[in-house]
Amino acid sequence: MSPWTQPPERIPGADTLRVLVLRGYGLNCQDETTAAFAMLGARVEQVHVADLLAQGRDALAGVHLLTFVGGFSFGDHIASGRVLANRMRGRFADALARFVDDGGLVLGICNGFQTLVKMGLLPAIGRKPGEPLAPQQATLEHNDRPGFRNAWVRLRIDPESPCVFTRGQGPALLELPARHGEGKVIVEPSLQETIERDHLVPVRYADADGRPTEAWPDNPNGSAGGVAGLCDPSGRVFGLMPHPEAYLYPENHPDWIEQRDAGALPTHGLGLGLFANGLRSLL
């Protein structure tokens, strides 16, 4: 049985793990993300961005995993994730740097991925423990085809990536919904060789044959090389544009009836596997 289709039992020991899910200021995927971690047995709670910033570094005491969810933070004014990234970097950078250095995990989904990139948490090449957050080294621009694209995509997983959320899954394809208007990943050219060498692209958009692609509609935004997400060199910070929290139940898939009739309906939505991998890496 593929690791992606294992039943979603509560993970032994997950109740010792504390997960924070951000909400507020236009973020809108917090409930689905909270449900994913709760289904797996973690101690998960939502925290408003304003409360997190007000508490400072104390807000992350005893936390194992911090999640930046999807949505439209601050209405995507200026650019998607930019205002939230500036606010977090200006008031919370030291706490985030220490959190990652101490072994904490950070997950960013869609708007959360945009925020992590613009904050410097991804890809963070060259940053060493104890140093401030890395400067911004990449960005996400408007899709090649203008407008908001809402459709399911295939992702090819890189089995050699250090990303703890995808590590150990083997060469596999994962289908997830993607819905964004600014998802084209652009990395500083001087860092491109390092990103490829160190396998810091855990997931890429794939065509019907499972090959990474830049072609629309399999690649909804035109990212070079089919880049759909990035991780940092430690593998503990991961961001992706598609939404794993939107595929927690088999019935979330648009072809679930056909899958059921063919005897291929999974026991749970396959997006849950990414959350499970992250939690298991902490135990």
Place of tokens 């430690």: 234
Measure the CA–CA gap between 153 and 115, rounded to whole angstroms.
22
Question: Is 110 annotated in the active site?
Answer: yes
Question: Is 32 annotated in the active site?
Answer: no
List 29, 110, 163, 231, catalytic entry: 110
Tokens of 235: 């593998």
Q: Which residues does 252 contact at the CB level (< 8 Å), separation at least 6? A: 177, 246, 269, 271
List 64, 243, 253, 268, catalytic entry: 243
Structural contact between residues 77 and 84, judged by C-beta atoms closer than 8 angstroms:
no
Question: Is 245 annotated in the active site?
Answer: yes
* CA 173 distance to own-chain centroid: 16
In angstroms, the Cα distances linking 73 to 31, 80, 81, 109, 126 are 16, 7, 6, 12, 28
Closest CA to 132 of 85, 107, 96: 96
List 64, 245, 253, 268, catalytic entry: 245
Closest CA to 175 of 231, 223, 118, 228: 228
- Catalytic positions, please? 110, 243, 245
